[in-house]
């Protein structure tokens, strides 16, 4: 059985997924290891790169090897 805290966390996760569904549904593998410190993904059409920043950055986010 799921306690109140567990249920609230699952509801919050469901809300987040609903708001950010393009970043979690219909995605494919992102950047190779070493280009960004954290997980990444590409949209299915390959036009949007998602960076999953797990901790609040101190100053800036570094992504290596990208060209527009």
Q: Is 57 exposed, middle or buried (0-12, 13-18, 19+ CB in 10 A)?
A: exposed
Indicate if the pLDDT at residue 5 is higher than 80: yes
- The DSSP call for residue 18 is H
pLDDT at residue number 68: 63
Q: Which region among 28-32, 47-51, 53-57 has the lowest average model confidence (pLDDT)?
A: 53-57
| Per-residue pLDDT band at 4 (split at 50, 70, 90) | confident
The answer to whether 5 and 13 have CB atoms below 8 angstroms apart is: no
CA distance 40 to 57: 16
pLDDT, the chain, mean? 89
Q: For the whole model, what pTM was predicted?
A: 0.72
């Amino acid at each position: 059985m799921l306690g109140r805290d567990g249920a609230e966390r699952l509801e919050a996760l469901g809300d987040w997924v609903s708001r950010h569904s393009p970043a979690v549904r219909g995605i494919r593998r992102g950047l190779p290891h070493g280009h960004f410190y954290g997980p990444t993904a590409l949209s299915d059409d390959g036009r949007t790169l998602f960076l999953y920043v797990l901790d609040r950055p101190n100053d800036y986010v570094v992504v290596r090897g990208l060209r527009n």
